[in-house]
Amino acid sequence: MRAVLQYWPVLVQGLCITVWVAVWVILGSVPGAVILGALRLSERRVFRLASMLFIEFIRAPSALVLLFWVFYALPLVPGMPRLSPLTAAILVLALDGAAYGAEMVRAGIQAVHVGQTDACHALGLSKLQSFTKVILPQALSQIVPNFGSLARSMVKWTAIVSFVGVQDLLYIGNNIRGQTFDAVTVFCLLATLYWILTVLCGVAFRVLEQVLPLNRALRAARMPSQAAPEADVQGGAQ
Amino acid sequence: MTWDWNFVLKILPRLMDGVWYTVLITLASSAIALGGGLVLAILETVSTTFGQAFVRFWLELFRGVPTLVLLYFTFYVLPEFGIVLPAVPIGIAVLGIVYAAYCSEVYRGSLITIPAELRDACVALHLSPYITWQRVLAPLMIKRAAPALLNYVLGLFRETAVLFALGVPVLMGEAHEVGYENFRFLEPYTLAGVIYLGMNLPFLYLLSKLKDKHA
C-alpha cells in the first residue's frame, strides 16, 4: 500500500492527463454532435443520408479499432499526417462522442413542437436563425441530461488512450503495478479515481442543467406565480 | 507503403479466427448480460432494502469504472488468490457482468411501464409469485425491453475489441499481432475495421426491424 502511494507525483500527472483528454474530448464532441444531429433532420435527402452513414461509419468499429487505425495505419496512406498519440486519441474519441451525441441532439430537436418551426417561418426568420435562436435553446433542456450520461461514458473511454502510449492514469497505474507487484492496491486506486471523475462529470452536467435557457425560464415562470397580480398592476401602471 | 492484395489474402484466415472468437465471446457474454440483468432487475424489485442497496452499488460501480480497469483488475488480482484462469473466460465474465448491470436498468425501466392492474389480476387469479414472474411479468419485460437490450448487445460486441489487452485473440488482437509479425499495419487494421463494420450490419438490420414493430 505504502509502496504504491510513494508514486503519488506520477499518479497526479497521469490523472491530469486523463482529465485533460476527457475535457477536450467532451468539448470537441459538442459541435460535431450538434452539426451531425441537425443534418440528420435536414430537408435535403443527401444531407440526411450522408450524416447517417458518417455516424454509423464512426460508431461501427469501436473507438479502440478506430484509434489504432488512425495511429498506425493512417500515416501509411500517402499524403496523410502522422498524428501525435495525444492528438490521435482526442480526435478519435471526440469523433466517437459526436457520433453518439448526434442521436441525442436529433431526439432533442424532434421533441420541440413543430409549431415553433412554423412560427419562426411565419416571423420570417432564416433557417439558421430559427435553429440557433429558437429550436436549439429549447432542445437543449432535453439534450443536456442525456449528453451528461454520454460524457460520463466518455471519461471512461479515455482509458483506451494508454494503448497508443499516452501516459494517462491507466498507463501510469500499469507501470506502478510492474514495479511494486501490488495489483490489488493499484487497481482499486485506479477504479476509485475513475469513479470519482465520472461522478464529478455528472455533477458538472447537473449544474449546467440549472443554467439552461428553458429551465431558467420555467423556473422564472414558476416563481412569481403567487406575485402575478402585483406584476399585473405594475404592467398596468406603465 | 501501398496496398498489397497478396498480403491481404495471406492474413485473411488468421483474421477469420479472430472473427470466430469475437462472435463466440459476444454470444457468451451477452447470454450472461441478458440473463444476469433479468435476475438483477427481479432481485431489486422483489427484495428489501438490502438487496436494493446491493444492486445499486453494483450498478454505480460498473457505471463509473472503465471496463479496461475492471479487466486488468480481474486478470491480475485473481492469481494472487490462487485462482489462475485463462484470459478468455475472464473476458467473457467481466464483459457479461458489466453489461448485466446496464441491462438490469433496461429491464427495470420496462417493468415500470407494465400497468399495476396486471399484477392485481395475477393476485386475483391466485397465481404464485413464481408463476407471476415466469409466465406474466418476465415475458412482458423482455418483449418491451428488446430494442434497448439489442442496443446494449451491439455495444458489448463493439467493446469486445478491448479484450486484446489481455491477449485474447479477438479480431482486434489478431490484427495487432499480424501487424507486428510482418511490420505492416495498413492492411490488418483496415481489414479489421472493415470486418467490424460489416459485422455491425446484422445488428442494425435487426434494430431497424424491431423499431418498426414497436413504432
Structural contact between residues A65 and B196, judged by C-beta atoms closer than 8 angstroms: yes
Residue B2 confidence (pLDDT) above 90:
no
pLDDT in the model for residue A238: 39
Residue B6 resides in a domain: no
DSSP A164-215: GT---HHHHHHHHHHHH--HHHHHHHHHHHHHHHHHHHHHHHHHHHHT-HHH
Please check the confidence at residue A194 and state whether its pLDDT lies above 90. Answer: yes
| pLDDT for residue A230 | 47
In a domain, A237, yes or no: no
Q: Which residues contact A22 (CB under 8 A, 6 or more apart)?
A: A154, A155, A158, A197, A201
pLDDT grade for B157, boundaries at 50, 70 and 90: very high
Q: Do A73 and B162 touch (CB under 8 A)?
A: no
Please indicate, yes or no, if residue B95 is contained in any of the structural domains.
yes
Judge whether B4 lies within some domain. Answer: no
pLDDT tens digits along B158-173: 999 999 888 888 888 8
Percent over 70 (pLDDT), chain A: 94
Q: Does B77 touch chain A (CB under 8 A)?
A: yes
Cβ distance of A62 and B200 shorter than 8 Å: no
Closest-approach residue (CA) in chain A for B157: A62
Given this model, what pLDDT does residue B4 score?
A: 82
Q: Domain containing B79 — which CATH number?
A: 1.10.3720.10
Is B8 a domain residue? no
- The string of pLDDT tens digits covering residues A100-122 is 999 999 999 988 888 988 999 89
Q: Can you give the residue range of the structural domain that contains A170? A: 2-223
Higher pLDDT, B62 or A123: A123
The predicted pLDDT at position B133 comes to 86
Evaluate whether residue A235 is within a structural domain: no
> What does the pLDDT look like over B15-49, one tens digit per residue?
888 999 999 999 999 999 999 999 988 888 888 78
**What CATH number did the domain enclosing A149 receive?**
1.10.3720.10
Q: Do A159 and B193 touch (CB under 8 A)?
A: no
Q: Residue B136: inside a domain, yes or no?
A: yes
pLDDT-derived band of residue B147, with 50, 70 and 90 as boundaries?
A: confident
**Is B29 part of any domain?**
yes
Task: Establish if A236 belongs to a structural domain.
Answer: no
Domain assignment of residue A211, yes or no: yes
Report the distance separating Cα B13 and Cα A77, nearest Å.
Answer: 24
Q: What is the mean pLDDT of residues B113-124?
A: 88
Under the banding of pLDDT at 50, 70 and 90, the label for residue A236 is very low
A194 vs B contacts (CB less than 8 Å): 64-66, 69
Quickly state the pLDDT bin for A233 (edges 50, 70, 90). Answer: very low
pLDDT, position A210: 87
Is residue B1 domain-resident? no
Q: Nearest Cα to A72, choosing from B6, B53, B177, B11? A: B177
Residue A101 confidence (pLDDT): 93
pLDDT tens, position by position, B76-109: 888 888 888 888 999 999 999 999 988 988 898 8
Is residue A52 assigned to a domain? yes
B165 lies within 8 A of chain A by CB: yes
Q: Quick one: pLDDT at residue A117?
A: 87
Asked if residues B114 and B141 have their Cβ atoms less than 8 Å apart, the reply is yes
Q: Answer whether residue A231 is part of any domain.
A: no
Instruction: Say if CB B147 and CB A145 are below 8 A apart.
Output: no
Looking at the domain assignment, is residue A10 inside a domain? yes
**Quick one: average pLDDT of B53-62?**
82
For residue B5 the three cell numbers come to 492484395
Residue at A232 is within a domain: no
B199-212, pLDDT tens digit by residue? 988 888 888 888 78
pLDDT at A235 over 80: no
Number of structural domains in chain A: 1
Q: Which burial class, exposed, middle or buried, applies to B52 when counting CB atoms under 10 A from its CB (0-12, 13-18, 19+)?
A: middle
Domain that holds residue B153: 21-168
Q: Over the stretch B164-197, which tens digit does the pLDDT of each residue have?
A: 888 888 888 888 888 888 888 888 899 999 999 9
What's the pLDDT at B59? 82
**Total domains present in chain B:** 1
CB-closest option in A72, A152, A184 to B179: A72
Q: What is the per-residue pLDDT for B1?
A: 64
Contacts A191 to B, Cβ<8 Å: 61, 65, 69-70, 73
Q: What percent of chain B has pLDDT over 90?
A: 29
Three-state DSSP state, B125: coil
* CA–CA min distance A115, chain B (Å): 23
A159–B contact, CB cutoff 8 A = yes
- Work out the minimum CA distance from B28 to partner chain A, whole angstroms: 19
Residue B143 lies in a domain: yes
